[in-house]
Structure 1
Amino acid sequence: MSSNAMPSSSTALPRYLARPLVLLAAVLAALVASVVVAGTASAHVTVASEDATPGGYGKLVFRVPNESDTASTIGLRIQIPEEAALASLRTQPVPGWTATLTTSDLDEPLDNHGQEISSYVSVVEFRAEAGSGIAPGEFQEFALSGGPFPDAEQLSFPAVQLYSDGSEAAWIEPSVDGAEPERPAPVLDLAADPADTADGAATATPGAEEAGHAHGEAENEPAGLALFLSILALLAGLGGVVLGWRANRRTVSA
């Protein structure tokens, strides 16, 4: 056989392709991770209000996304701690759901316009009727109206999400040193003036599905930025592969 024969083809990648492909693999891994983060950040049960202020009355909206791929959400149990006790509390009807209120005695009575209140609504539970519920990939909003709200900047409302397969998701963990736990309790931010919550007004209105929740938007901003940067890096990596391929073709042609 002649020593000038062309070498047989090899399965090894050319050097001009190997490095860009390694870069692309890393970018794709980051892209997948950012998508997962974005998905989990929006799965929390959250609460917001456009008009609740310390000492005033307002409407609370609990947004409940279904995080299960196979089971429907059929119940939501909201706990109202004594430090968040309201003298008056009402539920907004939700088609296909029933609401049950549980009252508890107060250690220290509330003064409501000169009237002493010794008990308050401590648990609100929404239950789906037969054939109803929050299916996978959907969400629902549940609204409460009441007051007066305590003189505080934030109020926590631990909640338990019930599923049709018998499982539960307990959103009851408090944040520690600003770090969000795996199952954070819904936290309501109270503004001193209703104008302070104007940015979150549209997102807290039931039916504004496309607007997004005020808390959900804050949680999703870092994930959205990571996703955007990952896409840019992916495009840059693809550009490197194309440039390397063209350079190799010019070398072979020469």
Structure 2
Amino acid sequence: MGGAARRRSFRTVRVTALAAGVGAASLLLAGPAFAHVGVEPRGDAARGGYATVDVKVPNERDNASTVKLEIVLPTEHPLASVQPQPVPGWKVEVTKSKLAKPLTVHGKQITEAVSKVTWTADGSKIGPGQFQQFPLSLGRLPENTDQLVFKALQTYDNKEVVRWIEVAEKGGPEPEAPAPVLTLSAPESDGHGAPAADGSAGDHHGGTDGKSASASADGGEDGSTDTVARVLGVVGILVGAAGVAFGVLAGRRRDSGVTS
């Protein structure tokens, strides 16, 4: 092989290694973009207690904005208390339905419960590359299940409707449009969820206290740091491997030049 041909071969190897490293890093960084509508508790969501949760809605379109969200609450585990927190730029509508079997909460019989909560853009919207959280106070959480499924409909301003209603089977792959799921933790000793900062039961609606907010913030920071560390680690490995390959090839080129 002539000297010019060897040089072209070395350049091809270097470019291929560099492209592989950049491509792998791009895939890792692009992963979080494939987010789904989800339900995330603030603190604990204990069985038999009360909790505040955030319905997190990312915009997955590059050419449209989210203007409406409908959350359907589970009818097999009705909740006697569902209270949305006002979100600036959005109007909220709460729909109640009659229960086939009345609930008894704090000695009172409940014959109807919230079956759907709808947020509609009113001066605001969720644009491309953005997300919005819609807080809900829920209770009393059921004691005979470890999760609640909240089916959701996400409407864009181009009339597209994404139906987040598919329920994942245990041990099976995640559906393409999974329904948001709230995982319930073990019941608290007093049956009223985690206490508030002043030692009370948080008005029985899982109001966020200083500890919960701090824990949530710390968890988010740790998660972000861990993700960045993993990405940098993989990129470093790829760059290192490319450097080793280049060094070996460069050595071979020098040896070949001496013997030729």
Q: TM-score, normalised by structure 2?
A: 0.75
Where in structure 1 are there 5+ consecutive unaligned residues? 1-6
> Is 1:184 paired with 2:178?
yes
2:243 is aligned, of 239, 244, 254, to 239
1:141: how far off?
A: 0.7
What's the CA shift for 1:24?
4.3
TM-score, length-normalised on structure 1? 0.77
Which residue is 1:3 aligned to? Answer: none
Contact 2:66–2:156 under 8 Å retained in 1: yes
Match for residue 112 of structure 2 among 105, 109, 119: 119
Which of 114, 125, 129 is the equivalent residue of 1:137? 129
Partner Cα separation in structure 2 for residue 204 and residue 169 of structure 1: 32
Residues 20 and 240, structure 1, Cα contact 8 Å, conserved in 2: no
The answer for unaligned runs of 5 or more in structure 2 is: 195-208
- Work out whether residues 147 and 181 of structure 2, in 8 Å CA contact, stay in contact via their aligned partners in 1: yes
Whether the 8 Å contact between 2:38 and 2:56 is mirrored in structure 1 is yes
Superposed CA offset, 1:211-252 (max 9, x none): 6499xx69xx8x878745541332123312541464256444
Higher mean displacement: 241-250 or 30-39: 241-250
Residue 48 (structure 1) aligns with? 40
What residue is the counterpart of 1:38 in the other structure? 32
Give 1:4's aligned residue.
none
Whole-angstrom CA distance in 2 between matches of 1:18 and 1:54: 60
Alpha carbons 1:46, 1:186 under 8 Å: kept: yes
Q: Name the structure 2 match of 1:147.
A: 139
- Given that residues 102 and 109 in structure 2 are in contact (C-alpha distance below 8 angstroms), is that contact kept between their aligned partners in structure 1? yes
For the Cα contact (< 8 Å) 1:172–1:183, is it kept in 2? yes
- Verify the 8 A CA contact 2:33 2:60 in the aligned structure 1: no
Range with bigger deviation, 50-59 or 60-69: 50-59
Amino acid at match of 1:13: R
Cα shift readout 1:44-85 (whole Å, capped 9, x = no counterpart)? 111122243222222121111111112111111000011231
1:24-173 matched pairs, under 5 angstroms? 24-40=18-34, 43-49=35-41, 50-130=43-123, 132-151=124-143, 152-173=145-166
Shift of 1:87: 0.9
Structure 1 residues 124, 37: CA separation in 2 closer, same or farther (over 3 Å shift)?
same
Question: What secondary structure sits across from 2:97 in the alignment?
Answer: strand
Q: Report sequence identity in percent.
A: 37
Instruction: Count the aligned residue pairs.
Output: 234
Contact 1:110 1:118 in 2 (8 A): yes
Q: Secondary structure at the match of 1:83?
A: coil
In structure 1, how many angstroms separate the alpha carbons of the residues matched to 2:40 and 2:78?
17
